[in-house]
């Protein structure tokens, strides 16, 4: 496993629609392991494959609660409800955050790293993270959804 370079806002790879993963391969397993390493190393709660330059429909999320690491391959949002507005950041936009309105509840269908179908329900931060990461797979960045502009944040060193 390895830490990969995180692509930043302005790079074309972040604007592309990602391709479905047809089956799990060793190469894709290695990618998922590297995405987890890269996400934890950078202190993020989520990472999408295009953020490490790979146009595949894979996201990793860990909001730091009992759920642990979520691996969502070919995620598809089935249901959303409610609304929340709060600060959001992105590993591809270091040192910045901005207010984004998202659903407060999200139900998503995906495959795990064994290509078993899973359904995940999330509220609050988890719902926000799922929406943010699924947007990356469509080439959408949160900066386009920000209300009131971006502001600087202190990077937390752990
Ligand atoms: Zn992001």
Residue 157 confidence (pLDDT): 55
Is 133 in the active site?
A: yes
Domain with 110, as residue range(s), is 12-152
Is residue 52 a part of any domain in this protein? yes
> Average model confidence (pLDDT) for the chain?
96
Average pLDDT over residues 133-147: 98
Mean pLDDT confidence for 96-115: 98
Task: Give a yes or no: residue 158 inside a domain.
Answer: no
DSSP secondary structure code for residue 125 in this structure = H
Q: pLDDT tens-digit profile of 40-95?
A: 999 999 999 999 999 999 999 999 998 899 999 999 999 999 999 999 999 999 99
Ligand 1 centre distance from Cα of residue 18 (Å): 14
What's the pLDDT score for residue 97?
97
- CA 132, CA 142: separation in Å to the nearest integer? 7
pLDDT of residue 1: 74
**Residue recorded with tokens 């996400």:** 39
- CATH number, residue 56: 3.90.45.10
Q: Is residue 42 part of a domain?
A: yes
Distance of CA 136 from the midpoint of ligand 1 (Å):
7
Distance of CA 50 from the midpoint of ligand 1 (Å): 10
Quick one: pLDDT at residue 154? 77
Å from CA of 92 to ligand 1 middle? 6
As for how many domains the chain has, the answer is: 1
pTM of the model: 0.95
Q: Is the separation of the CB atoms in 81 and 103 below 8 Å?
A: yes
- Catalytic residue chosen out of the listed positions 11, 123, 124, 133: 133
Q: Within a domain: residue 1?
A: no
């Amino acid at each position: 496993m390895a830490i990969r370079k995180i692509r930043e806002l302005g790079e074309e790879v972040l604007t592309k629609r990602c391709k479905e993963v047809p089956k799990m391969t060793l190469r894709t397993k290695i990618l998922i392991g590297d995405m987890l390493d890269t996400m934890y190393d950078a202190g993020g709660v989520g990472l999408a494959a295009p953020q490490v330059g790979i146009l595949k429909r894979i996201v990793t999320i860990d909001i730091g609660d009992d759920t642990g690491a979520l691996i969502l391959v070919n995620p598809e949002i089935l249901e959303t409800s409610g609304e929340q507005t709060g600060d959001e950041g992105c590993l591809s936009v270091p040192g910045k955050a901005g207010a984004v309105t998202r659903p407060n509840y999200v139900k998503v269908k995906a495959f795990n790293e064994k290509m078993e179908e899973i359904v995940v329900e999330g509220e609050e931060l988890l719902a926000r993270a799922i929406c943010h990461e699924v947007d990356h797979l469509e080439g959408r960045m949160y900066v386009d959804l920000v209300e009131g502009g971006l502001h600087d944040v202190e990077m937390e060193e752990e």
